[in-house]
Amino acid sequence: MKRFVAAVTAIVFVGLLPARADTICPPPRCVTIAVPVSPGLKVPNNHVRVILPVGYKTSKRYPVLYLLHGAGGSYAEWTQNTDIVSFSSAYRVIIVMPDSGRNANAGWYADWIDGSRQWESFHMKDVIPYIEATYHGNGKRAIAGLSMGGYGAMYYAASHPGEFKAAASFSGDVDIRYGAPISGVMYDLLHDLNGTPNDNVWGNPVTNDANWRAHNPTDLAAHLAGTRVFVACGDGFPGGKHEEPNNPAAYFIEGGAYQVNMSFVRALDHAGIPHTDNFYGSGQHTWPYWQDDLHWALPQIMAALG
């Protein structure tokens, strides 16, 4: 039961963690834009942060990495909490960080079943074409994210085969049906406080089970054929390199994330999908580990992008 409760709360951590001040992200490398929203789409925030390569030139074309945030974050959180600006300066890649709601309005990178949000349509139909036309993408793209964003990365890659050459999840909620159907009750109870998905997102997890399956990376694992898959997660035990002993919830939550990620990896193995894993043992659900995950994954993502 403890493992189950940890797993279904594995994506709520971001709202509990204080964000550090924004790292230096000045123009011309950093820009924050409002992407035009297609008529009829409902998204409460169309802001996107973009990090351009050092020496960016409009006469050249670049691969694009879409980097997704967690349930309590926003399009700015990767620059607020990591060294992504300085670290990415070594790579010729455009990094794009779109919004998908936060806390009780966390969007889950989904077109909600109740019709009140269309995050998936906005990102796939508006953000990607607009960004790549405006900033000269070369058609090669990858996607990555943490927690809710790790879910979004794997879901987008699986549900839009061929769109992304690589996908990476860092402590992601990559099996939203883990512990179903009881997990749906837990999600609903924690929604207002921590942004877990309620029935508005994919419907009731019992009566709309087919819709949950259709949006679950673990159920869609076979669709990741042809995509380079990267999975990173700790196990929630003490002793990690970024120890925060006064943050016990972060141990508990990462332990749940570990169970969810192992379920996802088993599904990848069953489907015969190659994947590169970084199950690094002791660790917490905190930003220093996701910065490490990015350092681990980005060079490999760039290799996948050619």
Reported as a pLDDT band with limits 50, 70 and 90, residue 259 is very high
The predicted model gives 64-83 an average pLDDT of 95
β-pairing, 47-51 vs 30-34, is antiparallel
The predicted model gives 76-101 an average pLDDT of 96
Q: Is 281 left (phi over 0), alpha (psi -120 to 50) or beta?
A: left
Q: Tell me: pLDDT of 140 over 80.
A: yes
Reported as a pLDDT band with limits 50, 70 and 90, residue 193 is low
Q: How far apart are CA 52 and CA 131, in angstroms?
A: 11
Phi/psi of residue 254, nearest 5 degrees: -65, -30
pLDDT at residue number 19: 44
Q: Tell me: pLDDT of 104 over 60.
A: yes
Q: Tell me: pLDDT of 123 over 90.
A: yes
Identity of the highest mean pLDDT range in 4-13, 197-206, 258-267 = 258-267
Reported as a pLDDT band with limits 50, 70 and 90, residue 7 is very low
Question: Which of residues 26 and 77 earns the better pLDDT score?
Answer: 77
User: Which DSSP string corresponds to 271-304?
Assistant: HT---EEEE-SS--SSHHHHHHHHHHHHHHHHHH
pTM to 2 decimals? 0.92
| Domains of the chain with CATH codes | 2-305 (3.40.50.1820)
pLDDT tens per residue, range 213-222: 999 999 999 9
Q: Which of 13, 34, 39, 9 is nearest to 182 (CA)?
A: 9
The predicted model gives 154-161 an average pLDDT of 98
Reported as a pLDDT band with limits 50, 70 and 90, residue 174 is very high
Q: How far apart are CA 188 and CA 6, in angstroms?
A: 15
